[in-house]
């Protein structure tokens, strides 16, 4: 081993140090992850640029490039525009705004830091949330001239919801109000009053000028009335150790490692607590108990694995365990439920619709989930609870969730790792929301699935048929009901047991409480799909004749049924032809504006991309089309 290479470290510390000692010192430094947030133009990027510059973390070539850029895009006159150090995208530099979160790294003799510089514009709130989700502390910037703005509140609320417990209120541009103490005191008091309900453990207001460096890394002579720490001092010393000690052991299984017949290990990262060889553990979802036999790493087996470590656990017994499940301490088990309440932040342009099926993903588990009830929306200005039927972009609400299979979780306030999830749109795969679980719903725990002795197979066998759900979708007046009704007659004549669920008829009974908004349309389809499923279970051939305009709900219906039981029939009639036929006089009214939310007029119809059967009604008679559908069904053994 080579040791003893003496080199100077930095300019101020001219004494030579041993490299290995130096590295060891670096190793034991704590880490603070923080973000800068607040409204547009409050100086977030400038502050980070200033921090990097003052902690001497800008290389000469970067500084040269910065001076060059400042002349080209800068907003600071002839001076260096520090914001350009972090606004790294072309569009950002051209528009002088921050679009997405940038991560920067710096360290001082006391701590290492990862900074997320997040955008202030409301439309980029999801990028702010991205930066906040991994942070321990938020610097909320406030322009001393503007005071607290709606975005200051929105960002503070999101920071609070995402579990951040420490806030610095950076009253920035204090130079532009003449270093006025009363302005600082007023803003500090206003912020504290507003944040009272947000559950922060510490709030530190600091008057500063990011542009000139006042109270950033050095105390300002211009603010003799301020006796608190500079920003950097505070960041170096703030105590962020959450009650990490004594938290129950949680190990979400990521990956099952089975390189050969003799080894079966469960790879993952310890989410909380610690575990030792020989300790008892419980499989969260099944309740099966076993013990830890080995804690495997490439650097040798460990005696103990603790929070944050990525290891592979080998168990004493063969228990059923795979990705999405959790190993936990038997003394404090997590909740296992398929219904729970969670706070949701919505990220997508198309709103959250209760009843629509989304993919819910926790750190390692993935299930289908719907919002069964939107309890309220949170007003971001006054924190009030408001009634709502959907959540729009950047809105926050409390929802009841229902998942297709139970998941294992803790409340988010107890565990940021096992209490969080994201929602993914089934069609676009976009990440559309982020959820923080509040509590499980009791009803999930008390209603157990009743196993029945007469099975769906035996019911169908008695009828000598294969159950199916024929799902007719198309515009109003496209001919769905005509075709479904003719087809039912034929099937009935050949001795099949059938039933037609018709959109208009169901809306007179089961669904008469529903209107035609997007949210109600989603619920309309959910109820019909569940009804069709029960009928298919009973052995029937079900013909569903519903406009069902959204792909997401048709897909939900397909996934609800057993494989091969769902047949999508696209009754394809152009809008003009439907409007011409207008059998119920609805198009005439809708086009005059007398009916709102009419599919094809002011409410969208998403045509199937790959229907099982596609019939075009303009060229051929309904009887011909019915023959064609019947032939298709016969070929596949449905009739």
Partner 1 sequence: MPAALTHLGRLEAEAIHIFREVAATFSKPVMLYSVGKDSSVLMHLAMKAFYPAKPPFPFLHVDTTWKFREMIAFRDRMAKEKGFDLLVHINEEGVRDGINPFDHGSNTHTHVMKTVALRQALDKYGFDAAFGGARRDEEKSRAKERIFSFRSAGHAWDPKNQRPEMWKIYNTRVAPGESIRVFPLSNWTEQDIWQYILQENIPIVPLYFAAKRLVVDRDGMTIMVDDDRMRLLPGEKVEERMVRFRTLGCYPLTGAIPSNATTLEEIVGEMLTARTSERQGRLIDRDEAGSMEKKKREGYF
Q: Is 603 annotated as catalytic?
A: no
Indicate which single residue of 178, 201, 202, 263 sits in contact with partner 1 (rule: CB under 8 A).
Answer: 263
Is 204 one of the binding residues for partner 1 (CB under 8 A)? no
- Pairing state of beta strands 468-473 and 566-572? parallel
Is 8 one of the binding residues for partner 1 (CB under 8 A)? yes
Residues contacting residue 574 through CB under 8 Å, at least 6 positions apart: 618
Least distance between partner 1 and beta carbon 513 (Å): 34
Active site residue: 39, 306, 548, 603, which one? 548
Is 478 one of the binding residues for partner 1 (CB under 8 A)? no
Contact predicate 62/85, CB 8 Å: yes
Query: Nearest 5 degrees, angle CA 549-CA 554-CA 559?
Result: 170
Q: How far is CA 154 from CA 149, 193, 379, in A?
A: 9, 15, 9
Least distance between partner 1 and beta carbon 222 (Å): 32
Query: Nearest 5 degrees, angle CA 362-CA 363-CA 364?
Result: 90
Footprint of partner 1 on 328-387 (CB under 8 A): 347, 359, 361-364
In the complex with partner 1, which residue's Cβ is closer, 65 or 595? 65
Footprint of partner 1 on 281-310 (CB under 8 A): 296-299, 304, 306, 308-310
Is 312 one of the binding residues for partner 1 (CB under 8 A)? yes
Among candidate residues 613, 638, 429, 614, the one with its CA nearest the CA of residue 540: 638
Is 183 one of the binding residues for partner 1 (CB under 8 A)? no
SS (H, E, C) 392-407: CCCCEEEEEEEEEEEE
Contact predicate 361/350, CB 8 Å: no
For residue 151 the two structure tokens come to: 């975005």
What DSSP character marks residue 55? T
The alpha-helical segments, DSSP class H, found in 463-593 are 480-493, 503-508, 518-537, 551-560, 575-581, 586-591
In the complex with partner 1, which residue's Cβ is closer, 362 or 403? 362
In the complex with partner 1, which residue's Cβ is closer, 72 or 634? 72
What phi, psi does 51 have (nearest 5°)? -60, -45
Footprint of partner 1 on 24-43 (CB under 8 A): 26-29, 31
Least distance between partner 1 and beta carbon 131 (Å): 9
Contact predicate 401/342, CB 8 Å: yes
Is 278 one of the binding residues for partner 1 (CB under 8 A)? no
Strands (E), 39-182: 102-107, 111-117, 137-143, 166-172
DSSP assignment of 2-50 equals: ----EEE-SSS--SEEEHHHHHHHHHT-EEEEEEEEESTTS-HHHHHHH
In the complex with partner 1, which residue's Cβ is closer, 60 or 320? 60
In the complex with partner 1, which residue's Cβ is closer, 20 or 584? 20
Indicate which single residue of 49, 207, 248, 268 sits in contact with partner 1 (rule: CB under 8 A).
Answer: 268
In the complex with partner 1, which residue's Cβ is closer, 225 or 263? 263
Least distance between partner 1 and beta carbon 280 (Å): 18
Indicate which single residue of 7, 451, 493, 619 sits in contact with partner 1 (rule: CB under 8 A).
Answer: 7
Is 563 one of the binding residues for partner 1 (CB under 8 A)? no
Indicate which single residue of 121, 274, 507, 551 sits in contact with partner 1 (rule: CB under 8 A).
Answer: 274
Is 636 one of the binding residues for partner 1 (CB under 8 A)? no
Least distance between partner 1 and beta carbon 499 (Å): 36
C-alpha torsion angle, residues 388, 161, 113, 117 (rounded to 10): 20
In the complex with partner 1, which residue's Cβ is closer, 160 or 498? 160
Is 59 one of the binding residues for partner 1 (CB under 8 A)? yes
Among candidate residues 39, 243, 3, the one with its CA nearest the CA of residue 147: 39
Footprint of partner 1 on 500-529 (CB under 8 A): none
Among candidate residues 446, 436, 418, the one with its CA nearest the CA of residue 284: 418
In the complex with partner 1, which residue's Cβ is closer, 324 or 600? 324
- Report the interhelical angle of 150-161 vs 125-132 (nearest 10°): 40
Indicate which single residue of 79, 103, 584, 631 sits in contact with partner 1 (rule: CB under 8 A).
Answer: 103
Indicate which single residue of 226, 249, 340, 421 sits in contact with partner 1 (rule: CB under 8 A).
Answer: 421
Indicate which single residue of 12, 61, 243, 317 sits in contact with partner 1 (rule: CB under 8 A).
Answer: 61
Contact predicate 503/471, CB 8 Å: no
Contact predicate 168/159, CB 8 Å: no
Indicate which single residue of 105, 109, 225, 505 sits in contact with partner 1 (rule: CB under 8 A).
Answer: 105
In the complex with partner 1, which residue's Cβ is closer, 134 or 618? 134
Q: With CB under 8 A as the rule, give the number of residues binding partner 1.
A: 84
Footprint of partner 1 on 388-417 (CB under 8 A): 416-417
Least distance between partner 1 and beta carbon 10 (Å): 7
Least distance between partner 1 and beta carbon 94 (Å): 10
Is 62 one of the binding residues for partner 1 (CB under 8 A)? yes
Contact predicate 612/568, CB 8 Å: yes
Among candidate residues 411, 370, 571, 597, the one with its CA nearest the CA of residue 478: 571
Least distance between partner 1 and beta carbon 590 (Å): 34
Q: Binding marks (x or -) toward partner 1, 232..261, rule CB under 8 A?
A: -------------x--------xx-xxx--
Is 109 one of the binding residues for partner 1 (CB under 8 A)? no
Residues contacting residue 174 through CB under 8 Å, at least 6 positions apart: 144, 180, 183, 184, 207, 208, 209, 214, 222, 223
Least distance between partner 1 and beta carbon 424 (Å): 6
Indicate which single residue of 67, 112, 147, 228 sits in contact with partner 1 (rule: CB under 8 A).
Answer: 112
Footprint of partner 1 on 68-97 (CB under 8 A): 69, 72, 85-91, 93
For residue 561 the two structure tokens come to: 């049924």
Least distance between partner 1 and beta carbon 350 (Å): 15
In the complex with partner 1, which residue's Cβ is closer, 108 or 603? 108
For the chain, the farthest-separated pair of C-alpha atoms sits apart, in whole angstroms, at 99
Q: How far apart are CA 242 and CA 240, in angstroms?
A: 6
Is 191 one of the binding residues for partner 1 (CB under 8 A)? no
In the complex with partner 1, which residue's Cβ is closer, 100 or 553? 100
Is 453 one of the binding residues for partner 1 (CB under 8 A)? no
Is 434 one of the binding residues for partner 1 (CB under 8 A)? yes
Point out the residues that are catalytic: 548
């Amino acid at each position: 081993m080579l040791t003893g290479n003496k080199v100077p470290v930095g300019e101020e510390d001219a004494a030579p140090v041993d490299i290995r000692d130096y590295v060891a010192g670096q190793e034991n430094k704590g880490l603070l992850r923080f973000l800068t947030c607040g409204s547009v133009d409050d100086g977030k990027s400038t502050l980070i640029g200033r921090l990097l510059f003052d902690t001497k973390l800008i290389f000469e070539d970067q500084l040269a490039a910065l001076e060059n850029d400042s002349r080209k895009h800068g907003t600071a006159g002839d001076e260096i525009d520090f914001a350009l150090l972090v606004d790294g995208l072309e569009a950002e530099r051209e528009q002088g705004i921050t679009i997405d979160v940038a991560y920067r790294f710096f360290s001082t003799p006391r701590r290492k830091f990862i900074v997320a510089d997040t955008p202030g514009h409301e439309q980029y709130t999801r990028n702010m949330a991205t930066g906040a989700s991994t942070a321990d502390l938020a610097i909320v910037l406030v322009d001393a001239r503007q005071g607290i703005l709606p975005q200051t509140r929105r960002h503070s609320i999101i920071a609070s919801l995402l579990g951040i417990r420490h806030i610095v209120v950076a009253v920035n541009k204090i130079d532009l109000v003449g270093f006025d103490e009363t302005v600082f005191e007023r803003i500090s008091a206003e912020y504290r009053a507003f944040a009272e309900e947000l559950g922060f453990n510490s709030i530190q207001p600091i008057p500063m000028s990011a542009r000139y460096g006042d109270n950033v890394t050095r105390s300002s002579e211009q603010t003799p009335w301020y006796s608190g720490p500079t920003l950097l001092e505070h960041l170096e010393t703030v105590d962020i150790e959450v009650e990490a000690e004594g938290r129950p052991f949680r190990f979400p299984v990521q990956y099952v490692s089975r390189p050969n017949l003799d080894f079966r290990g469960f790879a993952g990262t310890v989410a909380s607590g610690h575990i030792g060889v020989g300790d008892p553990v419980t499989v969260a979802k099944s309740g099966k108990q076993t013990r830890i036999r080995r804690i495997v790493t490439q650097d040798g087996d460990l005696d103990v694995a603790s929070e944050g470590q990525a290891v592979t656990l080998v168990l004493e017994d063969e228990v059923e365990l795979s990705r999405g499940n959790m190993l936990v301490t038997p003394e404090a088990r997590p909740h296992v439920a398929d219904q729970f309440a969670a706070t949701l932040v919505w990220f997508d342009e198309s709103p959250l619709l209760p009843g629509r099926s989304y993919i819910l993903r926790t750190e390692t588990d993935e299930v289908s989930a719907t919002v069964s009830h939107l309890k309220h929306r949170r007003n971001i200005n006054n924190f009030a609870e408001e009634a709502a039927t959907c959540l729009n972009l950047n809105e926050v609400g409390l929802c009841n969730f229902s998942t297709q299979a139970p998941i294992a979780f803790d409340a988010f306030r107890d565990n940021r790792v096992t209490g969080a999830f994201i929602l993914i749109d089934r069609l676009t795969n976009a990440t559309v929301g982020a959820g923080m679980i509040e509590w499980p719903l009791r009803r999930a725990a008390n209603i157990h699935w009743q196993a029945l002795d007469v099975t769906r197979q035996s019911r169908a066998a008695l009828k000598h048929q294969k159950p199916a759900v024929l799902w007719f979708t198309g515009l109003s007046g496209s001919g769905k009901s005509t075709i479904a009704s003719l087809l039912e007659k034929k099937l009935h004549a050949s001795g099949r047991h059938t039933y037609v669920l018709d959109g208009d008829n169901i809306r007179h009974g089961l669904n008469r409480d529903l209107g035609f908004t997007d949210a109600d349309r989603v619920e309309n389809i959910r109820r019909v799909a569940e009804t069709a499923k029960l009928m298919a279970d009973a052995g029937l051939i079900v013909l569903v004749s519903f406009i069902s305009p959204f792909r997401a709900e048709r897909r939900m219906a397909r996934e609800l049924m057993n494989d091969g039981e769902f047949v999508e029939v696209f009754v394809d009639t152009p809008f003009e032809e439907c409007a011409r036929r207008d059998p119920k006089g609805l198009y005439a009214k809708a086009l005059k504006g007398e009916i709102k939310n009419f599919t094809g007029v002011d409410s969208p119809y998403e045509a199937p991309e790959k229907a099982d059967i596609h019939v075009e009604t303009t060229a051929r008679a309904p009887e011909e089309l019915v023959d064609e559908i019947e032939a298709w069904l016969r070929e596949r053994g449905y009739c």
